[in-house]
Structure formats: C-alpha cells, structure tokens
C-alpha cells in the first residue's frame, strides 16, 4: 500500500487512473447488469479476461486484493459450469489466440474445483461479477485520489496555522478502512474527515478575524482606552482602601462583641459551679481554661486591628493636612 501513496505523491497515480478509465469507457457504459438479461459466451469471456487484468493491476499497484480475487474466482466458476470438459470445444475454436490460453486455464480451474463448489453455468452472473471488479477498481482509485487531495489540503491548512488534529484522526480511520478493503466505509469516513477539516479551517478563520478586529479596535481607539484604564485605576485605589478599612472595622467590632460574650460565659460558669452547684468543679475548670484561651486570642486580634486602623488613620490625617496646606 505504501507504493500507492508514493505513486500518488509523484503524480503517477492520476495518469494510471485516466488511462484505465479511457480503456474501459466503452465497456462500463455499454454493459449493464442491474437487471437479468441475455449474456452470450463472448461477452462473458471478455468480461472475465478484463477483470483478470484489473486484478493483476491492483495487485501490482499494492492494493489489497482479497475481495476482487474471490469475486473473480466466483465469476470463473459461473462461466465454467458444472462440467469443465464442456469448455473443450470452445477451447478448440480459440486455440491460437489469447482467449484459447485463458480458456485452457479455466478448464484447469474447473477440474480442480470440488463438485460441491461448482456452479450451474450462468454467463449473466459471470459477467455481472466481472463488472463488480471493474467498479471495485474504479472505486479504489477514486478513494486514492480523495486521500491525496485530503493530504494536500491538510498540508496547506497547517501552513496557514489551522489545527487539523481531529480531522487527521478521522482520516487515519478512513485509511485503515481502505487498506482493509472496506471501500464504502472508507468513502464515508473520508467525507467526515473532509468536513472536519473544513470546519477547522472555518474556525481558524473566525478566530483570526476576531483577533484582527480586536487589534483594529485597539489601534483606532488606543488613547480612549488608555484614558478609561487610567480613570478606573485612579478610582479603584481609594475605593479598595475604603472597603478594606470597613471590613477591618467590622471585624474589630465582632471581636469586641465576642470578647464580651466570652466573659459573660465565664461568669455564668462560675455562678453554676460555686453558687448553683449545677456543674462540677472539674467541668468548670475545663470551661474556664477554654474561655480564657479564647479571650487571649480575641484580645490579640483586637490589638492588631486597632494598631492597623490607628496607623491608617494617621496616614489619612497626614495626607489630609497636606491637601489643606496646598489649598492655603
């Protein structure tokens, strides 16, 4: 199969395809096997010989050929019939030409075929199967062309900065189907790969257009944008300071309330232990320890916040005095 990819890249595959399409144009157009019809010995034999050549061609080009070879053998068995010796008279008529050589090979095949695998002679079925090989060969080259076109298009898109990873994954699935002789699947998957490639290119173009539009907007209105940023930066600093101070004052107030509540809880524990006798001394000692530890932590937090707020107030007053001095 690598031979096929290389041939396509060198442009040889297209030439081969055109030549064989021209050679078989009359045969493809003239023959129709959609409906059962009368097929004579000459048409059936000519179809077999042509199909034989196409199978050899596909093998030489590196195509997987299991399907076409099996189909050709089936076509030959329909041509030979149940009694291979019946071909002897036909062989005598064609003994001096290429048909004679081919008929001789058919007789050998017929004699080597087990009786349970032989077919009732049917020229129509033989010709129809031979035509299937023609279609199969044409489909193979068509898919090969589509694969080459995809690779060329993908390479160009990559140069343009398009991310084609998703399309490449689908494309590789198509190649696997093609190499496995699943031609119909390969064509469908190739269609999906091309669609994904087109969508990736469109998305890339959309992003580029958006970036270009943004850049154009920035270039056109750069000084207005700068003024807005400076304005926002100017008002954000004092607002942030005020918010931070409010949160600290709120926190300080909550700590003071919590300190008072903890002292009240300690007094209540003392009352319950020494006067009401509703809790034991051991329980009181535990509560006392917990309350006092908590009070120490709260007092430390209060001192820190009071110090921070006091420093901020001094700075604020100092700046205010400077402003007043400037005004005077």
> Which structure tokens are listed for 106?
């058919």
- Say what the alpha-carbon torsion angle 192, 194, 200, 206 is, to the nearest 10 degrees: -110
Instruction: Give domain status of residue 292, yes or no.
Output: yes
Q: What Å distances lie between residue 273 and 11, 35, 247, 263, CA to CA?
A: 103, 110, 39, 16
Spatial CA neighbour of 142 closest among 8, 27, 6, 30: 8
Domain boundary among 200, 220, 240: 220
The answer to whether residue 192 scores a pLDDT higher than 60 is yes
Confidence at residue 307, expressed as pLDDT on a 0 to 100 scale: 83
Of 84-98, 108-122, 134-148, the poorest mean pLDDT is in 84-98
Whether 62 and 22 map to the same domain: the answer is: yes
Are residues 283 and 235 located together in one domain of the fold?
yes
The pLDDT of residue 221 is: 65
Task: Give the model's pLDDT for residue 20.
Answer: 41
Coil/strand/helix, residue 155: helix
Q: Do 126 and 15 fall into the same domain?
A: yes
User: Are 115 and 10 found together in one domain?
Assistant: yes
Judge if 120 and 180 occupy the same domain: no
Same domain, 62 and 99: yes
pLDDT value of residue 250: 80
- Domain, as residue range, for 274: 225-327
Whether residue 12 sits in one domain with residue 130 = yes
Asked if residue 144 is part of any domain, the answer here is no
Helix/strand/coil for 158: helix
Cα separation, 240 vs 67, in Å, equals: 77
What is the model's pLDDT at position 188? 92
Quote the tokens at residue 71: 């189909």
152 domain residue, yes or no: no
Same-domain check for residues 234 and 112:
no
* 118 and 73 in a common domain: yes
Residue 255 lies in a domain: yes
Domain count, the chain: 3
In a domain, 313, yes or no: yes
Q: Tokens 């959309």 — which residue?
A: 206
Q: 9 and 66: one domain?
A: yes
Per-residue pLDDT reduced to its tens digit, 77-94: 888 888 877 777 766 666
Residue 26 and residue 118 in one domain = yes
Among 108, 138, 168, the domain boundary falls at 138
27-66: pLDDT as tens digits: 433 456 666 678 787 888 888 889 889 999 888 888 888 8
* Domain stops at, among 138, 168, 196: 138
Q: Contacts by 200-206 with C-beta closer than 8 Å and gap 24+? A: 200/157, 200/162, 200/163, 200/164, 200/166, 200/167, 201/157, 201/160, 201/162, 204/157, 204/160, 204/161, 204/162, 204/163
Distance CA 193, CA 202 (A): 14
Q: Which of these ranges, 1-5, 17-21, 118-122, 268-272, has the smallest mean pLDDT?
A: 17-21
DSSP 273: I
Same domain, 6 and 71: yes
- For the cut 70, the answer to whether the pLDDT of residue 121 exceeds it is yes
């Amino acid at each position: 199969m690598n031979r096929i990819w290389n041939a396509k890249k060198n442009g040889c595959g297209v030439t081969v395809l055109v030549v064989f399409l021209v050679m078989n144009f009359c045969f493809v157009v003239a023959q129709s096997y959609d409906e059962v019809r009368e097929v004579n010995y000459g048409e059936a034999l000519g179809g077999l010989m042509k199909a034989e050549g196409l199978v050899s061609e596909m093998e030489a080009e590196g195509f997987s050929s299991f399907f076409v070879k099996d189909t050709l053998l089936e076509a030959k068995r329909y041509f030979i019939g149940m009694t291979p010796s019946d071909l002897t008279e036909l062989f005598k008529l064609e003994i001096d030409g290429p048909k004679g050589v081919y008929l001789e090979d058919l007789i050998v095949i017929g004699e080597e075929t087990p009786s349970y695998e032989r077919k009732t002679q049917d020229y129509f079925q033989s010709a129809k199967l031979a035509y299937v090989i023609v279609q199969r060969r044409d489909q193979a080259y068509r898919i090969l062309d589509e694969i080459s076109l995809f690779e060329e298009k993908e390479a160009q898109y990559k140069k343009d900065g398009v991310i084609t990873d998703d399309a490449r994954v689908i494309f590789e699935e198509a190649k696997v189907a093609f190499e496995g002789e699943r031609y119909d699947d390969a064509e469908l998957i190739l269609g999906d790969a091309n669609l994904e490639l087109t969508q990736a290119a469109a998305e890339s173009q959309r992003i580029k257009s958006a970036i270009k539009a943004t850049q154009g907007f920035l270039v056109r209105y750069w000084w207005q944008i700068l003024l807005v940023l400076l304005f926002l930066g100017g008002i954000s600093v004092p607002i942030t300071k005020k918010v931070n101070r409010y949160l600290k004052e709120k926190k300080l107030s909550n700590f003071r309330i919590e300190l008072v509540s903890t002292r009240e809880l300690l007094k209540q524990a003392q009352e319950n232990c020494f006067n009401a006798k509703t809790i034991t001394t051991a329980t009181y000692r535990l509560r006392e320890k917990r309350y006092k530890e908590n009070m120490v932590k709260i007092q430390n937090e209060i001192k820190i916040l009071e110090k921070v707020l006091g420093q901020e107030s001094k700075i604020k007053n100092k700046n205010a005095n400077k402003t007043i001095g400037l005004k005077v």
